[in-house]
Each structure stands twice: as structure tokens, then as C-alpha cells.
Amino acid sequence: MEILRVENLSKSFGGVHAVNDVSFSVEVGERLAVIGPNGAGKTTLFNLINGQLRPTAGRIYFCGQDITKMLTHQRAHAGQGRSFQLTSLFLDLTVFENALLALNGTKPSRYQVLRPITGYEDLMAKAEETLKAAALWEQKDELVKNISYGEQRRLEIALTTVLSDLRLLLLDEPSCGLTGAESADIIEMIRKLGRDITVLLVAHDMDLVFGVAERIMVLHYGEIIADGEPEEIQASPMVKEIYMGSEEDTGSARAS
């Protein structure tokens, strides 16, 4: 079953075709990595999918619905989650308090001040489960500002995945700035996500890409130049050429 379909999607900034007539679809549960040189249009593509940018042309369908004109928060309601680098964390609260707040926000009764104690017990249990899955249970009483950067990234991703009805998770460079070991923890976490969650990942870190993706799409000057299984992509002479080509080849998107 298809969860996302992008049809002839384009985004130009002045004369720069950041995303140029891109079409693809993603099946429920897929782990798809989008790779490509700096300036290839990867982040722009994500911004179009989650509604932070309006396309110049083309359509986007999510769960069969045309979401091209939907606002970002409406797309979030429909089941899209995106991990923003740390911006969703409360640094002066503990890890556990952050989990409670994130989970509380997912409840339909979030504006209800008084609620049965079992509601809180559910919340506590869910917070514990979430933190354990992210290997952060031991740090639950630490202030977020005092845990390591790698742990903050893990917490941030874990709390994105607790959004109620999360169906599509967009991760743009989730291991950026992390050590190898911290990045390995992120890989482990993404691997543990349920198949009801579809994962779209942008990364330069090939350990992350090959550790998570079952399908890789290569973006170059805003166009998809390869789409296939990791082995195919790895063996593709064209992809090698792009990654090891001349300096001019890895510059920014083509201007018209």
C-alpha cells in the first residue's frame, strides 16, 4: 500500500531549480534514504513533503489524499512527523518531564486539567517504554541540557515517534555532528521502529544510509538520477561518478 506519492514536483528559488520535476512513491513501512551531493535538493524535497515550502509545480499525495495545499500542522495531524534538530526539547526540564510533555500533547484530552489517575499511569508507563526504547531510561532524571548531544538527538527522535498516529517519519541528517558510537545508537533506534511507521531519511553518513535504508534514491541537481536497492546504488557507475567526480559536479543546483 502506498503512503506517499510525489508527482512532477518542482521548486525553484529564483533561477535555481532546487527540485526539478521529481516523481516517486513510497510504500507503507519502507525505509527510503535520499542521498546526493550538497545542494542537490534533499532538504528542499523534505520541506515540500512536510509543507514548509510550497512547490512551484506538482502534487503531493499522502495516504491517498492530495496534501499539496495543506499546511504543515495539518500534515502533522494527518500523521507526518519530522525531527527538528533539538528545537522541540525543553532544556531545563528532565528527560522524563520532556517525555511526559510530548506524550501529553498527543492525547485528545490535552486541555483537560482533571483526569482520572489511570490516565496519568498510562502516560507514565508510555514515557518509560519510550525512554527505554531510546536507551535513555537511566538518564530520566537528568536535565536535558546536561545529557550529551547524542542523547539529546536520540530523545528528540524518540519524542517525534510518539506522535499519535505517526505514519511517516522524515529525518534530515539525524546523525549530523555525532560521534560514530552516537550515530550507531541512532541507527539502532531507527531500526527498532515499527513497520507501521514509514521512514524517509536524508543523510551523508553512509553507515547510517546503509544501516537503515532498503531503498536509496539519488538526487542530483534537483533530479532523481537513480532509485533502487542499496546494492544496486552502490554498484552504479553513475552514482560513483557523482560522489567522486570533479569539484564542479558537487556544487550547488543548476541555474537556468
* Contacts to Mg ion by CB under 5 A: 42-43
Closest CB to Mg ion among residues 55, 79: 55
Say whether residue 41 binds ligand ATP (CB under 6 A). yes
Closest CB to ligand ATP among residues 104, 250: 250
User: What CA–CA distance (Å, rounded) separates 155 from 86?
Assistant: 9
Closest CB to ligand ATP among residues 41, 150: 41
Say whether residue 169 binds ligand ATP (CB under 6 A). no
Q: How many CB atoms lie within 10 A of CB 198?
A: 22
User: What CA–CA distance (Å, rounded) separates 22 from 10?
Assistant: 7
User: What CA–CA distance (Å, rounded) separates 109 from 225?
Assistant: 46
Question: Measured from the CB of residue 219, what is the shortest distance to ligand ATP in angstroms?
Answer: 6
Question: Measured from the CB of residue 52, what is the shortest distance to ligand ATP in angstroms?
Answer: 10
Residue 27 DSSP label: E
Instruction: Cell 534538530: give the residue.
Output: 85
Q: Which of Mg ion, ligand ATP, none interacts with 32 (beta carbon under 5 to 8 A by kind)?
A: none
Question: Measured from the CB of residue 235, what is the shortest distance to ligand ATP in angstroms?
Answer: 23
- The CA–CA distances, whole Å, from 153 to 24, 96, 125, 183 equal 29, 15, 22, 10
Closest CB to ligand ATP among residues 31, 42: 42
Say whether residue 55 binds ligand ATP (CB under 6 A). no
Question: Measured from the CB of residue 221, what is the shortest distance to ligand ATP in angstroms?
Answer: 9
Say whether residue 174 binds ligand ATP (CB under 6 A). no
Question: Measured from the CB of residue 68, what is the shortest distance to Mg ion in angstroms?
Answer: 22
What SS3 class is residue 254?
Answer: coil
Q: Which of ligand ATP, Mg ion, none interacts with 13 (beta carbon under 5 to 8 A by kind)?
A: ligand ATP
Residue 51 DSSP label: T
DSSP for 61-130? EETTEE-TT--HHHHHHTTEEE--TTTT--TTSBHHHHHHHHHHTTSTTTT-SS--HHHHHHHHHHHHHH
Element holding 131 (H helix, E strand): helix 117-133
Say whether residue 54 binds ligand ATP (CB under 6 A). no
Closest CB to ligand ATP among residues 151, 205: 205
Say whether residue 44 binds ligand ATP (CB under 6 A). yes
- Binding residues for ligand ATP, rule: CB under 6 A, are 13, 16, 18, 36, 38-44, 252-253
